[in-house]
Structure 1
Amino acid sequence: MFMRLSLIGLCFAIYSSASFGQWYESQGVASIKNNDNKAAKAQAVHNALKKALLVAGASVSSVQQVVNGLLTQDEISIRASGSVNSLELISENYSGDLVTVTIRADIFPQEKKCFAADYKKSMLLTRSNILHREQANIGNIYSIDRTLIKKLANKIQQQGIYLDTKLALQTKTEFSRYNQSLQTQSLKNLTMSLANMTDSQYVLFSEIQDLSLANDENNDWQFWQKNIYQRQFNIALYIHDGTTGERILDKHYQSSAPWDFDDRKQVDVTSHNFWQSEYGQQISVTLDDMVSDIDENMMCQPTQGRIVQVQGNSITFNLGKRHGVKVGDKFSLLHLNNFISDDKRSYSGFNISPYKVIVTSVSQDSAHATTAEQHILDNIQVNDLAVRY
């Protein structure tokens, strides 16, 4: 039986069979650097296969293992052991400095790696920080700190699987000041405060580290144009746990592309013209990589619901249908046990309750659960956690 599913903004063709697994069709995009089409094609296939594997439920380690193993060969149809039986390159298209490929992979269903993958985690995306603001003067692109995060949120909504995002773009946070001066405790406090105010499990920060123009003109292939320079786009991504404030992901991305705008005129970074330029397309490719990395790393992070009400043997916590919670789901309970060390640093500890709760009713943003054996939850308080690992 053959059917088509629309999922995360991509069309995946799935063929179900007991002996052949399932077919997943997906697209991948990569930029061409130093005229190396072969390397760009391999990276595009890499990105497409990662998307297919993540939709199929592969873990982070198995994605890396299978992708690295498959892409050592340059064949239209590739046989492989493990969760991927075969990989076919359906099409490849070259446009400017970008290559787009469509692949089809035969993926065997595999044993679930973590129950947390059943749920979407709520994540707050904060306004980015331009570390060297003078670099944004060329094109007057200061507003890229907001526009970039809006684009990232849209891509997560379209391509991501494991996140429910919220935006905080009106004002900049103190993140970069704390991060650059290594004020770890202040970073934790900032994260926990933002997470608490917005009902978020995780908080994403970012720093735009380089927007500079290269000194040499990029006229190797554009000799008939004047003043076309390479412009850098380097960005760092940080994700923090909203409950403890601790950093769980730190990734850096470096890229560049021709800046084909008049450097004396203002460029509208929200415009179609900007995002269709080579520089805008390169940023879009970087954002795709970020979405893939975020999804991979968040898939098996614990799904943590903050308890907002305790009554006898029942609780209410702030996860609901939008996060994938269903009636009958079981959650563990953690009692927060924060403490301050001798050097005045605060740490988060947890006492694990011997009881689990079963969800009895669910609304869009919250769930009600009770203990299986009607035990009174006298050691659980508001702001403790209901967790699924």
Structure 2
Amino acid sequence: MFNISQFKLTVTLASLLISFASHAVWYESSGQAVIHNGNKQQARQQATQEAIKQALLFAGASINSVQHLTNGLLADDSIEIRSSGEVDNIELIDEVYDGDILTVSIRADIFAQKLQCRAADYQKSVVTTWYPIKHRQQAAVGNLFDFGQQVAINFQQEFNQHATGAHVYQLEPYYLSLQNGAPVAIELARKADAQFVLLAEITEFSTMQNASSSLAFWQTPSVSRDFTLSMAVYDGNTGDQVFKQSQGITSNWEFDMHESIEPSSSRLWQSEFGKQLTSLLQSLSNEIDAALSCLPAYGRVLYVNNDQISINLGQQDGLRKGDQLTLFQMNQFFDPMGKLHQQYQLHPESVTVTQVFPHTANITSFSGAPLVNIQANDFVARR
């Protein structure tokens, strides 16, 4: 835990809803402050201001005046405000005195709008694998048992060509089932040093022979092929599922039923089936990019040398010299009902980027104050 003498900030993610564009996220934050010379009002204001400010900035929202919020908050048990549709509700939960330490707790209902969130400035790193075919016998037509490998390659190309908020920078050369879920996602994210993990599965790949018209009985019956791709994206740090969707096509299959088709051939991808599949991949790319664009851009601390800290974000992630970031630690715990929660402990000192390299960067304290108790595998986030 960070050694903070003046106050400690804890931001607990109580409920995560997938779409930040249309849903809010509840954050509970508590700020502690030392009461100097018996001035309780000043301590209340300091702790509450900082808790609100850090919660809002960490969630990706923006405000014009924290002072205005805290004045209203301190006057009433609850206050409702609206700021460009981003902050829907802030409530005062309680305040506790323990000697000369005051703890003020709030709960904030926050919208992170896509067009305004600062996290959209950074590209989120995504790792994925080849896509298995759920019913492998369906791949016998065309001898396309490894088609999921080529679909993954084409998706990576489509995504990186059109996406603005994220990039699939690594494609692992093996199959992982969509059913593996969060535990495998966390392991893969750490192995690949990525923030998000995309798992996908071809859930439908069947063919159907259409009956010929009675007026043209001599014609070869036409064949159609169904294709459905199911995708899920996980936060590699928490295991939270942030995106899940299935899309499918039904297209004319213009090849002989007994012909072997090369999965990467232009003949396949320039066919009607291939063109419709490319459109499907583009659609899923846009959906995932929109879902990730306003999520916080996380990075990890690689090593600490006195006050010089190296992180795993760099030019490829959109990092620039002079950018300000937030240092934090993240813990997970289960409540008595068995529900998993994430707890974010934010460091009081913001940091600034001093050097940027392709895949890493160096950061230091923005104010020049010492950065105490920072260690490898702590996190940084776009403020």
TM above 0.5: yes
Q: Which has the larger radius of gyration?
A: 2
Contact 2:142 2:261 in 1 (8 A): yes
State the superposition RMSD in angstroms: 2.6
What pairs up with 1:42-121 in 2 under 5 angstroms? 112-121=115-124
The one of 227, 232, 238 equivalent to 2:226 is: 232
SS of 2:369's partner is coil
Contact 2:131 2:202 in 1 (8 A): yes
- Give the partner amino acid of 2:153: K
User: Cα–Cα, structure 1 residues 218 and 189, in superposed 2: closer, same or farther, change >3 Å?
Assistant: farther
* Cα deviation 1:83-125 (Å, max 9, x = unaligned): xxxxxxxxxxxxxxxxxxxxxxxxxxx9951111111111102
- Give the partner amino acid of 1:200: A
Name the residue aligned to 1:184: none
SS of 2:188's partner is helix
User: Cα–Cα, structure 1 residues 273 and 350, in superposed 2: closer, same or farther, change >3 Å?
Assistant: same
Tell me if 1:140 matches 2:143: yes
Q: CA separation in 2, counterparts of 1:218 and 1:388?
A: 60
Name the residue aligned to 1:124: 127
User: Cα–Cα, structure 1 residues 177 and 121, in superposed 2: closer, same or farther, change >3 Å?
Assistant: closer
Tell me if 1:378 matches 2:372: yes
Superposition deviation, residue 188 in structure 1: 2.1
Contact 2:208 2:224 in 1 (8 A): yes
Superposition deviation, residue 341 in structure 1: 5.5
What pairs up with 1:203-218 in 2 under 5 angstroms? 203-217=197-211
Tell me if 1:306 matches 2:300: yes
Name the residue aligned to 1:152: 155
Contact 1:313 1:374 in 2 (8 A): no
Name the residue aligned to 2:352: 358
Name the residue aligned to 1:285: 279
User: Cα–Cα, structure 1 residues 218 and 114, in superposed 2: closer, same or farther, change >3 Å?
Assistant: farther
Specify which structure has the bigger relative contact order, considering alpha-carbon pairs within 8 angstroms and separated by 6 or more residues. Answer: 2
TM-score normalised by length of structure 2: 0.66
Superposition deviation, residue 314 in structure 1: 3.6
Contact 1:233 1:256 in 2 (8 A): yes
Superposition deviation, residue 374 in structure 1: 2.2
Superposition deviation, residue 385 in structure 1: 0.9
What pairs up with 1:5-44 in 2 under 5 angstroms? none
Superposition deviation, residue 336 in structure 1: 1.9
* Cα deviation 1:347-382 (Å, max 9, x = unaligned): 542211112101011111011111122222224321
What pairs up with 1:266-345 in 2 under 5 angstroms? 266-339=260-333
User: Cα–Cα, structure 1 residues 224 and 154, in superposed 2: closer, same or farther, change >3 Å?
Assistant: farther
Q: CA separation in 2, counterparts of 1:280 and 1:111?
A: 32
Q: CA separation in 2, counterparts of 1:218 and 1:322?
A: 54
Q: CA separation in 1, counterparts of 2:344 and 2:211?
A: 57
* Cα deviation 1:308-345 (Å, max 9, x = unaligned): 12234342110001111000001111112233556888
The one of 254, 259, 262 equivalent to 2:248 is: 254
Name the residue aligned to 2:178: 176
SS of 1:200's partner is coil
Contact 1:361 1:369 in 2 (8 A): yes
TM-score normalised by length of structure 1: 0.65
- Give the partner amino acid of 1:298: L
Contact 2:334 2:340 in 1 (8 A): yes
- Give the partner amino acid of 2:271: S
Structure 2: segments with no counterpart, 5+ residues? 1-19, 23-112
% identity of equivalent residues: 29
Q: CA separation in 2, counterparts of 1:159 and 1:382?
A: 34
Contact 2:322 2:353 in 1 (8 A): yes
- Give the partner amino acid of 1:388: R
* Cα deviation 1:228-281 (Å, max 9, x = unaligned): 222101111110001111110001102110111111111112001000111111
- The alignment of Structure 1 onto Structure 2 pairs a total of residues equal to 273
User: Cα–Cα, structure 1 residues 219 and 315, in superposed 2: closer, same or farther, change >3 Å?
Assistant: farther
